[in-house]
Structures are given as structure tokens and as C-alpha cells.
């Protein structure tokens, strides 16, 4: 059995917009365009996840909402504070709580955690996740609880710039 994990970094945030705290920063127009393109591409490729869990930060939630609408996905979504300013251990806790009937999972979050997570799961070198990029990892495991260090294979890493 296999499980697939898609890590989706939020779209470019709007540093010029007014916001009270970092958590509340919105997505810039460039981020909106990238999120739309990524959402459509994922649908075209037939890689829509069974479940999507997003950081509670406005820019992450907005990125997921835009991608879902643009790609016309139909998957359940959850919001968690556990993916905002998360460590790898916190990301693992979120993954380990996923019910096993889901075979593919998307997590929407932030840097530097996503680049570090790809390296961690693949026991690999340096990876850079630009804004709105997606990385898909596959794990030869039967349960989400078995996902861990070095157990993943990077299937693809797609930055939105490749989509034009």
C-alpha cells in the first residue's frame, strides 16, 4: 500500500496590505494567480487529494480556497493552528492523526518547514519550495502513522513558474 502527501506552500503574500500580525497577512495578486494555476493543474493531472489540511494563517487558507475553486476539487478540508510556524514534529503529528481511509493528503503551509519536510521525508539534500509550489511524496506504508524520516520518495516538485 502507498500513501501520497502533497505539500502546498501558500501563495505570495501581500506585504503592503495592512495586517495586525503575521498570521493575518493576505495573499498578493501574484499569489492568487499562482494558486489558481496550481489548483487547475492538479485537477488536470488527476492528483486532487482525498483530504486537505491547511494552516490557520489567512494566506494559507486563502491559497487553498482559491486552488479548490479554480480546479473545482471536491475534497474535505480542515484548518489547524498546528501547521502555522510548525516544526517537523508538529507536521508529523498532523499526518499521524489522519484517518487511514485517506490515501492522499494535502498539507498547506509555510517555509522553511515545507522545504525542510521534503528533505526530512526523503532523507535528501537541500530543497527549496517557492511560494505556491507543490511537492508530492509517496510512502510505501499502510498507515499514516508509519510516515516518518526517510520513508518518502519525491515524485514531483512543481513551482507555479513552470505553468507560465
Strands 3-9 and 104-109: parallel
d(CA 69, CA 4): 22
What length does the chain have?
A: 164
Average pLDDT on 29-41 reads 95
d(CA 136, CA 156): 5
Q: Is 157 helix (H, G, I), strand (E, B) or coil?
A: strand
Q: Express each pLDDT in 96-149 by its tens digit.
A: 999 999 999 999 999 999 999 999 999 988 999 999 999 999 999 999 999 999
Whether the pLDDT of residue 92 is over 70: the answer is: yes
Q: Express each pLDDT in 58-75 by its tens digit.
A: 999 999 999 999 999 999
Q: Got the DSSP string for 65-93?
A: HHHHHHHT----EEEEGGGTT--HHHHHH
The CATH classification number of 3-163 equals: 3.40.50.1240
* Spatial contact of 114 and 129, defined as CB atoms under 8 Å apart: yes
The structural domains of the chain, with segments of one domain joined by +, span 3-163
Amino acid at each position: 500500500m502507498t500513501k501520497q502527501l502533497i505539500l502546498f506552500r501558500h501563495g505570495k503574500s501581500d506585504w503592503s496590505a495592512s495586517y495586525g500580525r503575521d498570521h493575518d497577512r493576505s495573499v498578493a495578486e501574484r499569489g492568487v494567480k499562482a494558486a489558481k494555476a496550481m489548483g487547475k493543474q492538479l485537477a488536470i493531472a488527476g492528483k486532487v487529494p482525498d483530504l486537505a489540511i491547511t494552516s490557520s494563517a489567512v494566506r494559507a487558507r486563502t491559497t487553498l480556497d482559491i486552488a479548490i475553486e479554480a480546479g473545482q476539487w471536491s475534497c474535505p478540508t480542515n484548518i489547524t493552528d498546528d501547521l502555522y510556524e510548525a516544526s517537523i514534529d508538529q507536521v508529523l503529528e498532523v499526518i499521524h492523526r489522519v484517518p487511514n481511509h485517506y490515501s492522499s493528503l494535502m498539507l498547506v503551509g509555510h517555509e522553511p518547514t515545507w522545504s525542510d519536510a521534503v528533505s526530512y521525508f526523503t532523507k535528501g539534500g537541500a530543497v527549496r519550495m517557492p511560494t505556491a509550489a507543490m511537492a508530492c511524496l509517496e510512502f510505501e506504508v499502510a498507515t499514516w502513522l508509519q510516515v516518518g524520516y526517510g520513508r518518502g520518495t519525491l515524485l514531483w516538485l512543481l513551482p507555479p513558474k513552470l505553468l507560465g
